[in-house]
Structure formats: structure tokens, C-alpha cells
Chains A and B, each alone.
Chain A
Amino acid sequence: MSARVQVRRLSKAYGSRPALDGVSLTLEPGTTTTLVGASGSGKTTLLRCLAGLLVPDSGEILFDGRDVAAVPAERRGVGVVFQSYALFPHLTVADNLSFGLDVRRTSASDRARRVAELADELGLERLLDRRPGEISGGERQRVALGRALAYRPVLLLLDEPLAALDPNLADSVREALARAIAAERTTVLLVTHDRSDALRLGDRVVLLRAGEVEQEGTPRDLYRQPNTEYAANFFGTGALWEVEARAEGSGVVAETPLGRVALPGARPGRLRVIVRPEALSVRPSGGTSVTVRGVSYEGDRSRILFTAGGREAVVHGPADLETAPGDRIAVTVDPRLLVVLPEEKASLSRADERSQTA
């Protein structure tokens, strides 16, 4: 049932403003891909093109090798969970769930069976006679998901499915979502602006930036081996340090403000390294002595901004760490968690986009 979806050089502009600029990507059958990017990066435009709700200017979309340009939205067999859920207010939960089967003239018994199955899967049994106006936000989200899954779509598109929920509710809904997606084994594309949702929910992650694919890969790839400073900063903020690396013995060693660090796999020369907080730790003794510049208390930990050798970085320390600006603390670095950026074309680092992800 699930389709292999290929997007080739897809472009779409609103007036003179390009929203998608030659995007290519492949969604393998039965996998979940998260499409992540800052607002205005073209995520929703791509989703609407896939659903048939927007006609691209150029490029093609293939479902199992078949071009769907001429297939209208109602015959693509795509399920969409809208950001606002777009539940039909005049229909009950049960009628919302069975809408897609109803318009396909599925028999009443098959409809009833599928609705019961979905209601069980999504915990909606007691809500079937209610209308969307009479249920909670989390329940609406599950109904929207059920409605999109009911006719066993070849591709399921989710547009910011968790954005409208309050953070406490989002956690439980996220798990239910992951369970339901796994149970249905369809091809899924989930649009989100939330970096941790993108990493948690996707088998693969596609990062969009200003209408172009910045990087795609497994969540681990994108987090651990970002190709660009933009990608690195999108998934986890860290300080960018330029360091000098030399070949030494069988490996490569860099001089950093936190001492000499071995960088396996890196090339000698001038390197750009992203230093994320989790690569660093505060030690009672040993390590490099650094100067505290600022401390903020975050409940379960404290966040410490420090300088070492004229460079700034952030390290997380224990919540009860008693320290103040001007103090000196000892910090160690875990070289495996440092991110070494490949050489980047200068044109890619545009200040305006960096600020969007800051």
C-alpha cells in the first residue's frame, strides 16, 4: 500500500518570491521522513504540492514511478493531517473518521470495521458520537490522524501535528503518533519546525533552508555530521571555533582553547569546529581552567557561559553548582562529541538565516 515517493527538482514561487527552489528527495516506502526548517523555508509548500493542493511551477512528483501532476488531490490517495486539524465541524467523530471511506463508496460494514479499528488504535471509542467542537485539542489531533489513515493512504502527510498542542500534552501525543504510524506502515512525511521532533520521529530527516534542501540523512547524520554551519546550528546550538589541526602519529590533533584534542577522521589544516554544550563537562578538578561569564539556572541543570583563550562557549553544569561571573571553573572536552565542519562555500552563510535559527 505504501508508495515510494520521488520529488525531482520541484520549484514553486509565489509571485516573484521562490518558496521551493529545485528540491529533490526520495521517501522510501514505509519509512518516516521528517521535513524540518525555519518558518518560510518551504516545508508547507512542499507538503501541499505532494497532496495536490498546490500546483508546482516545475519539477515532478512520482508515486511509485508514476507522475502525479495530472492526478487531482482527491485521487492521489494521500492522507493529510492539517496543522489546524481541519475536522469537519458538522460531522461526528465517527463520520469524520469514515469520511474518506464514505466518498470512496466503501461498504457500510467495511466502514464500520475500519472506524472501530481506528477508534481502538487511537483511543477514540467513547468520542465517536461527539462533534469536533466538543472534544479536546489532543483528541482532535487523534481524530485528524485517524481520518487521514482510514482509507490506508499511500502517503501520509503531517503538517506540524504537535504545534497546536500545549507542551505537556505534546509528549503523550507524540508517542501515540509514533505508535499509530508504526502500526499503519505507510510512507510518512512529517513537517515540523521543532528540531527535536524532527530527530525523534524521523527515520530520515530533510532540512530545508530557503526553498532548498540543506542536508538530508538519518537523524544521527544530521546531528553528528552536519554539512554546514547552518545545519549544525539548526539541530543544536554550539560555539564555532576555528582551530589549527596537525597530523600527529596516526591521527590528527588540534590546538584548542581547551587544550590539545585528538580529532579522528579530520584533515590537517584550518578546521571549523562546533563546540556544543554536551561535548563539554564541568569537573571539580583537572581539565582546563576557564572564566565564568554568566550563569543561568534551568531547574534540572545550570547553563554556564565561559571564555577560554578568548573564545566563548557554553557548558551545562549541575543545578546546584555555586558559581558566579568572574569565577574560574575546570572544563573538559569529549573529542567524540565535537562536530568538525567540512569546508563550506562562503556564500552559504548568510547572516539573516543564521539569525532565524538562533
Chain B
Amino acid sequence: MTSRGRKSAEDPIGPSAAWIAPAALFLLVAFVAPFAALLRAASHGDPGAFLREFGGVWTQPHTRRALGNGLALSAAVSIGAILLCLPPAHLLARARFRGRGAARLLLSVPLAFSGVIVGFLAVVMLGRVGFVPAVAQALFGRPLGAGLAYALPGLFLAYLFFEIPRAVLALEAAFARLDPELAAAARTLGAGPVQRFARVTLPALRPALLATFATTFSVSLGSYGAALILSRRFSVLPVEAYQEFTAFGNDAGASAMAIWLAAISIVVSIAARRASLRAPEGTG
């Protein structure tokens, strides 16, 4: 399987590069080559055409609006999910209570969902004849929240639902890695709860917060199932790309939009990683 000559002198019995090769080859075929095909399609083999298509996503009002919608929605949802999930994640990581496993399982269920299911759940709960309006009608005599699913708040809630498990599980793991002695030490030094959180816990959590933001942002930006179900007027870029590709056969335009989405997500991930590398070493 391996040539003896290439074995490492420090680890002669360790695995050779051949063990990694099949996975590498697969990624080359199933990821790198398709990505190259995207670039090729967007450029028709002409760098000038690529810049036109790529720039066109920004200059055309409807795609720019869709991109802006997605960016704003993804950023808002990511920040919202992190803020909402921080205290429960801390509780799951530190407190010992009955049903903790069940609570964590329930919170992780949306991980398996596609955006489409989330969109459906939003319709079920907040549609024109949704469950919440029905309950409200029975209780208060008014169908509160009816049709909310199809408006911007509904889309926001649907995406938030989608990101809850990602945020809560990642933050729980981050809290679990956190050395509790750190806060205890700060306490003996006279730091109050706010100071402890702001000056000890938060800096130590910074890498995890950035990584969680990058993940939830990327997932929200690229997901289109929920928007497909919920939104007719409020479009996001993946939906535009999907329609360009399937309805209009515009390979170049769809590819340019896909590249936009991929580029933004990759840049956000790299930026988050860079920023967290600069963060102080807070954990023990």
C-alpha cells in the first residue's frame, strides 16, 4: 500500500498519504471540479464576461435586493440565535437537572430539518389558519399572528428556529470547555457578576461566538427552502439563483449568484477564524 522509502523517519509506522488520498480525490471530483465548473459557466471562458456576470448580481436591482435581504436576515438571525441561546446553553452545560438529555435532544431536532420543513412548520403555526391564530381566536377572540408566516417576522422566526440547535449545541460545548475556576478566580479577586461575564467569560467564549456566528450565518445565507415556502415578495439570492437556473436556463447568471453566496460564506468563515485566533487564550 505504501512505498517504504517515503515513510516518515519520526513515525515509520504511521499511515501514509495513501490513506487520505481517496477522500482527497473525491473532494477534487465532487467539490473542486464543480466549483471550477461554476467559475467556467459564469465566465464563458472569458474573464471580462465573468466580471460582468459577477458584477451584474450587484448592479441588477432584484438580485441586489435579494442578496441584501439574505445578508441582513442572516446577520440578524445569527445574532438573535446567539443572544437567545447563550443563557440556556450555559444552563445545559453547567446545571445538572432531570430531563437535560431530553431537552438537548429536543433542541437538536431541527438539525435534521431542511428549510422546507421549517417553512411548513411556520405556516402551520403562524399561517392564515395557523395554530397560534386559532388558539388566540379561542382565547382572546382575535386571530393574533394570522398570516405572520408570510411576512418578514415569520421568515425571521423560521430561520431562527432553524439556527437554534446550531447555536445552542455549539455554545453549550463552548461553556463546557470553559474552566469554571476562571470565574471563581475572578470572584476571589472581587469581580462582580457583570464584570466576571464581561471580562472573563466573554473573552474566553469569543472564538466560539465567532465560529457560531460564521456557521449560522453561512447556513442561513445558503438555505432557501424556508423562503421557497414562505415568501413570494421577499426573495433571497439562492431562490433567485434556483429560478435563473431552472426556469430560465441562465447557467452563467445562476453560477455567478452561487459564487457570490459561496464567496461571502467563505470570507465570513475565514474572518471569524482569523478573529478568533487573535483572541486571548481563555480556556484552561
Contacts and interface: CB of A to CB of B under 8 A. Distances in A.
17 contacts: A14-B10, A52-B12, A52-B13, A53-B12, A53-B13, A54-B9, A54-B12, A55-B7, A55-B9, A55-B12, A57-B9, A70-B4, A72-B4, A72-B12, A73-B12, A73-B13, A74-B13
Interface in A158-199: none
Interface in A59-79: 70, 72-74
Interface residues on B, range: under 10
Contacts of B4: 70, 72
Contacts of A54: 9-10, 12
Given A55-B9, A73-B13, 6 more contacts: A14-B10, A52-B13, A53-B13, A54-B12, A55-B12, A74-B13
A57 B7 CA distance: 13
A156 to B, nearest CB: 19
A14 B4 CA distance: 20
Interface of A: 14, 52-55, 57, 70, 72-74
B16 to A, nearest CB: 12
B282 to A, nearest CB: 30
A70 B4 CA distance: 9
Interface in B6-25: 7, 9-10, 12-13
List the 6 shortest-distance A-B pairs measured between CB atoms, nearest first.
Answer: A55-B9, A55-B12, A73-B13, A53-B13, A53-B12, A52-B12
Interface in B108-128: none
Nearest to A52: B12
B151 to A, nearest CB: 56
A191 B10 CA distance: 20
Contacts of A57: 9
A14 B10 CA distance: 9
A110 to B, nearest CB: 26
B263 to A, nearest CB: 40
Contacts of A70: 4
Nearest to B10: A54
Contacts of A53: 12-13
B13 A72 contact: yes
Contacts of B13: 52-53, 72-74
A219 B13 CA distance: 35
Contacts of A73: 12-13
A321 B195 CA distance: 61
Contacts of B12: 52-55, 72-73
A270 B261 CA distance: 85
B3 to A, nearest CB: 13
A73 B7 CA distance: 13
Contacts of A72: 4, 12-13
Nearest to A55: B9
A72 B12 CA distance: 8
Nearest to A57: B9
B5 to A, nearest CB: 10
A98 B9 CA distance: 29
Contacts of B9: 54-55, 57
Nearest to B7: A55
Contacts of B10: 14, 54
A325 to B, nearest CB: 43
Nearest to B9: A55
B137 to A, nearest CB: 60
Contacts of A74: 13
A114 B64 CA distance: 76
A57 B10 CA distance: 10
B140 to A, nearest CB: 61
A121 B146 CA distance: 81
B4 to A, nearest CB: 7
A286 to B, nearest CB: 62
A116 B25 CA distance: 49
A52 B7 CA distance: 12
A52 B4 CA distance: 13
A333 to B, nearest CB: 51
Nearest to A56: B9
A282 to B, nearest CB: 52
Interface string B136-148: 0000000000000
A82 to B, nearest CB: 14
Nearest to A73: B13
A52 to B, nearest CB: 7
A214 B207 CA distance: 51
B7 to A, nearest CB: 7
A70 B12 CA distance: 11
Nearest to A70: B4
A2 B103 CA distance: 62
Contacts of A14: 10
B172 to A, nearest CB: 28
Nearest to B12: A55
Interface in B78-124: none
B195 to A, nearest CB: 43
A55 B10 CA distance: 7
A52 B12 CA distance: 8
A52 B11 CA distance: 10
Contacts of A55: 7, 9, 12
A135 B13 CA distance: 29
A350 B175 CA distance: 50
Nearest to A74: B13
A165 B12 CA distance: 30
A18 to B, nearest CB: 14
A216 to B, nearest CB: 26
A158 to B, nearest CB: 19
A54 B7 CA distance: 10
Interface in B21-68: none
B85 to A, nearest CB: 36
B46 to A, nearest CB: 50
A201 B231 CA distance: 81
A320 B16 CA distance: 66
